[in-house]
Structure 1
C-alpha cells in the first residue's frame, strides 16, 4: 500500500504518514493509531510495539480493531450527549439559584 493510499484510507495527509514512517512524529492520536491498525490489518498492540499480544492460552489474541473503532465512535457520541446534559443541568441549577435569590430579595 502506498503512503498516499494509506493516508486517504486513514484520513490524514500523505506528509503525516511519511513523518510517522520516518519517526519524525513522536505519537499520533489514539484514534489515528486504531485506524492505521485496522487499515493495515494488524492489532493496535502490534502497530505500537511491533510484537503481537499473546493471550493467556498462548495463541495470538483476536484482532479487536473494528469493534474498538465502533466502540470509540459510540463513546464519543455518548460523551457529547453527557456534556450537553451537564450544560442543561447547570443552566437549570443557575435558574433555580437565581429564582431563590429573587424571592429572598422580595
Structure 2
C-alpha cells in the first residue's frame, strides 16, 4: 500500500469525511532540500514525502483551524515520523466555503 493510500485510509476511518483528497506533491519539491543534511541529501522528488490533504468532515464543525490541523497531524503522527516530510492541510466542516 502506498503512503498516499495509507493516509487516505487512516483519515477515512477517523473522520468519515464527505470529501477527501490526498495529493502527493513530492515531485514539486525536488532540489529544495539541503545537500548537507543526511536525512534529505540528494532528494530528487521521487517517492512519497510531501502531501496535501484536503478534507471536509463534520468532525471539524466548531473547531478552529489550529484544532483541525492538530487533529490531522495527530492522526498521521506515524507517517510524519517515518518518511513524510511535509503535510499541507486544508480542512473544513460541511457547508463551509473551500478552495478545493
> TM-score, with normalisation over the residues of structure 2?
0.27
Give 1 or 2 for the bigger CA radius of gyration.
1
> TM-score, with normalisation over the residues of structure 1?
0.26
Q: Which fold has the larger relative contact order, with Cα–Cα distance below 8 Å and residues 6 or more apart in sequence?
A: 2
Comparing both structures, which one devotes a greater share of its residues to strand? Answer: 2
